A and B are shown apart, each in its own frame.
Chain A
Amino acid sequence: MTAASTQNYFELFDLPVAFEIDNASLAERYRDLQRAAHPDRYANATERERREAMQMAANINEAFQTLKSPLQRARYILQLKGVDFDDQKDTSFDSEFLMEQIELREALAEVRDDPNALSRLNTLMQDINARITDMQDDLAKALGSEDLTEAKAMVHKLQFLHKLRVESENLEAELADAL
């Protein structure tokens, strides 16, 4: 096993463990790492080297996906700091957040019957995206001040919002294809 495969994703990309990340630099490093490790670079190498290359390239892909997404990145940082996640058990939310979620879901459900479904959906998606951006800002602050309990709660809330975004994207696809 390579030492690089046991490094954490930040170490692999030679970046400090931090929520703030420069996306352009992340993408640049990703390409440089894949240029070095991709199995296509080892088409003539020994079987062992080809196997190492495949595993390393898969690891780099996984790391890139995790670091690129603010939600996954935050979750990963918390895990590095020893915070455990158990999505089945971690289900307590404040009632204000739950009410908001119920309202958003109702709004999404009503879109389908609206004669101007697509434009209404568009407005709703902008609302969801704004909430996600706000939540990510708060998450950055919580992580910055090492408030891990608060950060973990926010990761859970963000997961809710992301799920909602995926559902609205699916509905948008469905509506667009029906045109």
Chain B
Amino acid sequence: MALLQISEPGQSTKPHERRLAAGIDLGTTNSLIASVRSGQADTLPDAEGRHLLPSVVRYQHDQAAQVGVEARAMAAQDPLNTIVSVKRFMGRGLSDIKHLGSRLPYEFAETESVVPRFHTAAGNFSAIEISADILRVLRDRAEQTLGDELQGVVITVPAYFDDAQRQATKDAGKLAGLNVLRLLNEPTAAAVAYGLDKAAEGVIAVYDLGGGTFDISILRLHKGVFEVMATGGDTALGGDDFDQAIAQWLMQQAGIQDDTSHHQLRRLMQAACSAKEALTDAEQTTISLELDNGKHWQAELTREQFKQLVDPLIQKTVITCRRALRDAQVDASEVQAVVMVGGSTRVPRVREKIGEFFGQTPLTDIDPDKVVAIGAAVQADVLVGNKPDDEMLLLDVIPLSLGLETMGGLVEKIIPRNTTIPVARAQDFTTYKDGQTAMSIHVLQGERELVSDCRSLGRFALHGIPPMVAGAARIRVTFQVDADGLLSVMAREETTGVESGIQIKPSYGLTDTEIETMLRDSIAHAHDDVDARNLREQQVEADRVIEALQVALRADADLLSESERAAIEASMQALAEARNGTDHRAIKSAIEHLNEITTEFAARRMDSTIKRALAGHRVDEIKLQD
């Protein structure tokens, strides 16, 4: 039971105040923002009535970033400064980017950071900063439409995103000044929108083919609980690849070489994309292309030829669907509905092949572009506290196994894929040399056996292990994956209780210092005052903590002794005073003190909540025995 659920109606500090929350679909091709208004979740349009914001950002010298339709219009003319499909670069290193294809129309700056930076006329930017620019536009849109600041958002990510890609998305949210309540998997968000709409129960499959990512999730819906049973996918497969396939065919037909100009490549991709879209309704389409030598070239593409080009790609998704069903231990015939999500499911051939595989016509009645943002908005509304009595609960899984490097370059799995999150698992290690005081741990994500075939998430160096004979030390490494699917690792030497100093070197993510610098830069850019912003943030946090604690005290004060309660109230009073001052550090330290002093109270409340959760059963079962 949530804190707010326990409070009596009308007793909350600000009973009539609705908190503003939004769901954001940060897509490869388009991004959307949605919010629940008057009980109805819907996407929010811009001033011109457009709901979809093209995920395209253009950087010009000494100008603010241009985002959306205007930027997209310049993509062919100004390819190096106009970043499209930036999502494909999230959480990726330079070596990954080379795998994305040799025909990328970008230049990358040489930097010391492991995070690649696009070189543009306005400077060098990482994918995280570019995504933050998209998020800022959506935030402004929502705040103008809703009339006030957003108190929290849910940002969706492909279910198959690994830890580095998730962390990058969360960092982008932070950089855009958003309070990210949760990262939500896109298919799960779609299931929420669909499940609530149809009041569905049973097993459903969500097939999500976007611009650059593919996900399949098998879920069980039961009385408001959305339990993901298995998920699978490919974070580098989507409509963009359909375009690529057509573009390559065009190059072949028109005799264009691989080393052609950036402009030519952009024109090719745009022609390919238009042809694909035309074939949604038409049996064939005419492609005309302006070549670099000024000549025009023209060709016909039929649906039949298009099928041949994209069938291998669709077949890849079918194989992934089959594996997800197997992981969920469900037969295709048990699936009660197949929900289609993502713009690329508009391709008739995709619907046909997926319908064939599941033996039923897939559902396409909720706009496949909007369904993810709508589901995220519903979840954001619940998380921010607007629906205290809601029974909805989302139980997600990790998409890829987590493991450690062992002898001989092999990976030992600690948490297998499709394990429900949050999850915590511990593993014991020991020293192999006498007097060894340090140890290196390499964390990996993926299904393959060899380290070189998995994604490196980071290396941890453990220092300060007390010198002992080989094999005597017992180092317990705990992996914890939170509800966002983000991993944290803790280590402790058990015989002496020494919490070893851990140095984390993320293989792909930004370091804390880099994020700090970016935040400062972005604030400076917005001519904002860093101190004023820090103060506001701490005040908002202080208000939140005080309110949460007041609600908790009203509900469960009987769990505390007189003196315990007095101590908490004194500490709360101290925070309230600090909050009205102007020193953000003083507020922060008062919050920390209050957190510290309420540890035991939080534990007792959890115990009593757990007891209450099963109390209903005992009553039921006694009744049954009558």
Instruction: Name A residues whose Cβ lies closer than 8 Å to a Cβ of B.
Output: 1-4, 12-14, 25, 28-29, 31-49, 51-59, 61-62, 64-65, 169, 172-173, 176-177
* Residue in A1, A59, A176 whose beta carbon sits within 8 Å of that of B603 in the complex: A1
Residues in A whose Cβ lies below 8 Å from that of B379: 40
Smallest CB separation, A148 vs chain B (Å):
25
Residues in A whose Cβ lies below 8 Å from that of B2: 41-42, 44-45
Beta-carbon contact of A46 and B613 below 8 Å = no
Question: Looking across the interface, which residue of chain A has its beta carbon closest to that of B425?
Answer: A62
Asked if B75 lies at the interface with its beta carbon under 8 angstroms from chain A, I say no
CA–CA, A50 and B342, complex, Å: 33
Beta-carbon contact of B614 and A31 below 8 Å = no
Beta-carbon contact of A43 and B424 below 8 Å = no
Asked if B273 lies at the interface with its beta carbon under 8 angstroms from chain A, I say no
Beta-carbon contact of B613 and A61 below 8 Å = no
Smallest CB separation, A175 vs chain B (Å):
11
Would you call the interface of chain B mostly helix, strand, loop, or mixed? helix
Number of A-B contacts (CB under 8 A): 151
Asked if B295 lies at the interface with its beta carbon under 8 angstroms from chain A, I say no
Beta-carbon contact of A42 and B3 below 8 Å = yes
CA–CA, A29 and B545, complex, Å: 31
Residues in A whose Cβ lies below 8 Å from that of B323: 173, 177
Contacts A44-B548, A48-B595 given; indicate if A32 touches B616 (C-beta within 8 A): yes
Interface pairs A-B: 8 shortest CB-CB: A36-B613, A48-B602, A43-B383, A41-B2, A58-B424, A2-B603, A58-B422, A49-B602
Contacts A48-B598, A53-B606 given; indicate if A43 touches B614 (C-beta within 8 A): no
Sample of 24 A–B contacts (CB below 8 Å): A4-B610, A25-B617, A32-B617, A34-B393, A35-B391, A36-B609, A38-B393, A40-B382, A40-B383, A43-B384, A43-B385, A44-B383, A44-B384, A44-B548, A46-B552, A47-B595, A49-B605, A51-B602, A53-B606, A57-B422, A61-B419, A62-B423, A176-B322, A177-B322
Beta-carbon contact of A46 and B548 below 8 Å = yes
Smallest CB separation, B325 vs chain A (Å):
10
**Size bin of chain B's contact surface:** 35 or more
Question: Looking across the interface, which residue of chain A has its beta carbon closest to that of B610?
Answer: A4
CA–CA, A12 and B604, complex, Å: 15
Beta-carbon contact of B322 and A14 below 8 Å = no
Contacts A44-B4, A46-B552, A62-B424 given; indicate if A52 touches B606 (C-beta within 8 A): yes
Smallest CB separation, A73 vs chain B (Å):
17
Smallest CB separation, B436 vs chain A (Å):
22
Contacts A39-B422, A46-B548, A62-B424 given; indicate if A3 touches B382 (C-beta within 8 A): no
Interface string of B155-198 (1 = CB under 8 A from A): 00000000000000000000000000110000000000000000
* Residue in A12, A42, A45, A173 whose beta carbon sits within 8 Å of that of B610 in the complex: A12
Smallest CB separation, B266 vs chain A (Å):
36
CA–CA, A25 and B594, complex, Å: 40
Residues in A whose Cβ lies below 8 Å from that of B384: 43-44
Beta-carbon contact of B423 and A58 below 8 Å = yes
Beta-carbon contact of A56 and B391 below 8 Å = no
Asked if B278 lies at the interface with its beta carbon under 8 angstroms from chain A, I say no
Asked if B307 lies at the interface with its beta carbon under 8 angstroms from chain A, I say no
Question: Looking across the interface, which residue of chain A has its beta carbon closest to that of B323?
Answer: A173
Contacts A31-B225, A45-B548 given; indicate if A2 touches B3 (C-beta within 8 A): no
Beta-carbon contact of B1 and A41 below 8 Å = yes
Beta-carbon contact of B393 and A14 below 8 Å = no
Residues in B whose Cβ lies below 8 Å from that of A39: 422, 482-483
